[in-house]
């Protein structure tokens, strides 16, 4: 089993300082999701809303960001197994593929539903065969490995 590494304290501080554009020592609430994702975590919209609700009107300083990152927010590689299990359950004939149209529908309607633009971005690198099928294992691998920072911190 792959060990997930946390971003180092120095890396978190460096990232925080990049996004603290006003150099006030704290971030705006709108910036926090971007920072968390830049540090390799992938919270759902629901998780992000809960985090922001919990913060309330508190200032978001670097220590608050470190505390938030210690919470169980999944990174892409932690989601790999969950995604594979979900696709396996959908793969009724065991061919290892899913129709592109079905995949687009799932991405746009289930869980944290994605916008059409977000679905198109994810599908951009998907290889669709002449029968309109996508190899879901390859799709998951591309999703996890193409994450900008990922868990390689």
What pTM value is reported for the model? 0.56
Q: In 3-state terms, what secondary structure has residue 60?
A: strand
Residues 68, 73, 74, CA angle at the centre, nearest 5°? Answer: 150
Dihedrals phi, psi of 36, to nearest 5 degrees: -60, -40
pLDDT digits (tens, 9 = 90+) for 104-123: 998 888 777 778 888 888 88
Name, in order, each residue with C-beta under 8 angstroms of 107's C-beta and a sequence gap of 6 or more: 113, 114, 118, 119, 122, 123
Select from 50, 54, 24, 19 the least CA-distant residue to 37: 19
The helix/strand/coil state of 133 is strand
- Residue 98 has φ and ψ, to the nearest 5°, of -140, 145
Burial, 16: exposed, middle or buried (Cβ in 10 Å; 0-12, 13-18, 19+)? buried
In this prediction, residue 128 carries a pLDDT of 92
- Buried (b) or exposed (e) across 48-80, using 16+ Cβ within 10 A? beebeeeeeeeebebebbbebbeeebbbbbbbb
The per-type count for the chain, helices as H runs and strands as E runs, is 8, 2
Cβ neighbours around 36 below 10 Å, total: 21
Percent of the chain with pLDDT over 90: 27
More confident residue, 149 or 20: 20
Contact call for residues 139 and 126 (beta carbons, < 8 A) = yes
Whether 4 has a pLDDT exceeding 50, the answer reads: no
């Amino acid at each position: 089993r792959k060990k997930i590494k946390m971003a180092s304290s120095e890396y978190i501080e460096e990232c925080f300082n990049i996004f603290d554009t006003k150099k006030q020592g704290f971030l705006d609430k709108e910036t926090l999701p971007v920072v968390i994702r830049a540090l390799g975590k992938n919270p759902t919209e629901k998780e992000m809303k809960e985090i922001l609700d919990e913060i309330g009107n508190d200032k978001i300083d670097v220590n608050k960001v470190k505390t938030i990152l210690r919470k169980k927010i999944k990174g892409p590689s932690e989601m790999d197994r969950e995604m594979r299990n979900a696709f396996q359950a959908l793969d009724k004939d065991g061919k290892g593929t899913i129709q592109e149209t079905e995949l687009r529908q799932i991405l746009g309607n289930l869980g944290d539903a994605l916008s059409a633009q977000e679905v198109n971005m994810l599908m951009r690198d998907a290889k669709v065969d002449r029968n309109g099928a996508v190899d879901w294992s390859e799709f998951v691998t591309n999703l996890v490995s193409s994450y900008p920072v990922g868990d390689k911190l």
